[in-house]
Amino acid sequence: MSAVGFIEGDVTWGDYDNDGDLDVVGIGDTGGPKELYIYKNNGNATFNPTEVDVDPTDGGMRFGAVEWGDFDNDGDLDILATGEDNVTKRHRIYKNNGNGTLDASQIEVDGINGGVSGGGGAWGDFDNDGDLDILISGYPDILRVYKNNGNGSIDPAQIEVDVADGGLSGGLGWGDFDNDGDLDILMIGYYNSGATVQLRIYKNNGNGTINPSQIEVDGVNNGLNSSGVAWGDFDSDGDLDILAAGIKSSNRQLRVYQNNGNGTMDATQIEVDGLNGGLEGGEVAWGDYDNDGDLDILANGTNGNRQLRVYKNLNTTANTAPSAPSTLTSTWAYNASGTSTATFKWNPGADNGSPATPANVLTYQMEISTMSDFTGKSIVAGQWSTPGMGNYLKPPQIYDGNSNQGVGLRYLPHHEYNLLLPG
């Protein structure tokens, strides 16, 4: 594949056209104009080099991030984009039209110049109401959550998570580190014009608010700059650990922090590649590349030379798969002239490993197809994606008196549907 490349931007995978393969979205500086492009997967291990220009008039940004997520629950992936253009800092949503195109009429979530630069954005259902909310952080020292109204719009009245101490310019992500069934915030980077470098967690209070009293994972001013961060259960003990990369006091680091399993993190970091053996200016990710049941490390960046590395997990405890969910049921409310809604419910699966991941924090992949053998086009094709893409389900217990989990999808065509829901 030969296509336009990006610097000072971001790229990610997502099946935006629901044809069963992963496409690419990228944002950043192309060496000329700033662009927001999609590259469509041809389905034969090649990509169409003719990009889909999402917003030809005003779509490009740099020093930001791009993420897929189905924010309007209509069964296809929309785009969240943050960063700065030549003049202003932006924070936008582009809606998927459901026909292989994106609506170029962007939603400015917080008005003109209401975004951030040097940080990022992430989708996550922080209030457990069944739709994706937005987290953004970056310069000028902003950390905000925007609630999804549940009607295809975002509430512009932002939640300022930490007014006193601000956001960080670096990596961020949602994850339930204390296994209480709601999403907490992980952040790494600098604030106060680079004077302070932190690695922080903000706990979700479980009532639609975030606790502003941050947990400094490795003490004050002991984070990493020019950095990336990711949640992952690297020791297969049922809770989320932290992977972090960046630079501190001229030393490039690649670190793992273990979860103590009691709502705290062990500040004694594991230096994966020794002192000054890490990378800066890149990103990190977990993934089981050798299919041995534990999470390995992918890291990119520079140590003076540009590097792309994999570190193999030597843990001998494999992460066992949970049992599949049971008692799948559905209801269908068809409206020929308005909004049709399908609701799917199930009992949660169970992790039989030792230690086990609690049932209320298991996530689900979901596919809906008009074909019983799932060989045809899917309405939702989540089985190839990860929580970072937004195309996954950690549904709230809002059905049947909080006993069942479920999700509702709107705007579905009138067909008979088949549901595939592996744990």
Query: Do 116 and 138 contact (CB within 8 A), yes or no?
Result: yes
For residue 147, the one-letter residue type is K
Separation CA 233–CA 294 (nearest Å): 8
Separation CA 371–CA 378 (nearest Å): 8
Separation CA 14–CA 257 (nearest Å): 29
Q: In this structure, what token pair is assigned to residue 212? A: 């502003």
What pLDDT is recorded for position 386? 36
What pLDDT is recorded for position 416? 54
Separation CA 219–CA 189 (nearest Å): 14
Query: Do 347 and 329 contact (CB within 8 A), yes or no?
Result: no
What pLDDT is recorded for position 323? 85
pTM: 0.81
Q: In this structure, what token pair is assigned to residue 225? A: 């700059």
Sign of CA dihedral 181, 386, 247, 164: negative
Separation CA 178–CA 239 (nearest Å): 7
What pLDDT is recorded for position 417? 56
What pLDDT is recorded for position 146? 92
Separation CA 174–CA 67 (nearest Å): 13
Q: Which residues pair with 148 in a beta bridge?
A: 154
Full pLDDT tens readout for the chain, 423 residues:
445 566 667 888 888 887 778 888 888 777 677 788 888 999 888 888 888 888 877 767 778 888 888 888 777 889 998 888 767 777 889 999 988 888 888 888 776 666 676 778 888 888 887 788 999 888 777 888 999 998 888 998 888 888 777 777 788 889 999 988 889 999 888 776 667 888 999 999 989 899 988 899 988 777 887 788 999 999 988 899 999 998 888 889 899 999 999 999 999 889 999 888 888 888 888 988 888 888 999 998 888 888 889 999 998 877 778 888 888 787 777 776 666 677 777 777 888 877 788 777 777 666 666 667 766 555 553 333 333 333 334 444 333 444 445 555 554 454 455 555 554
What pLDDT is recorded for position 159? 87
> How many percent of the chain have pLDDT more than 70?
78
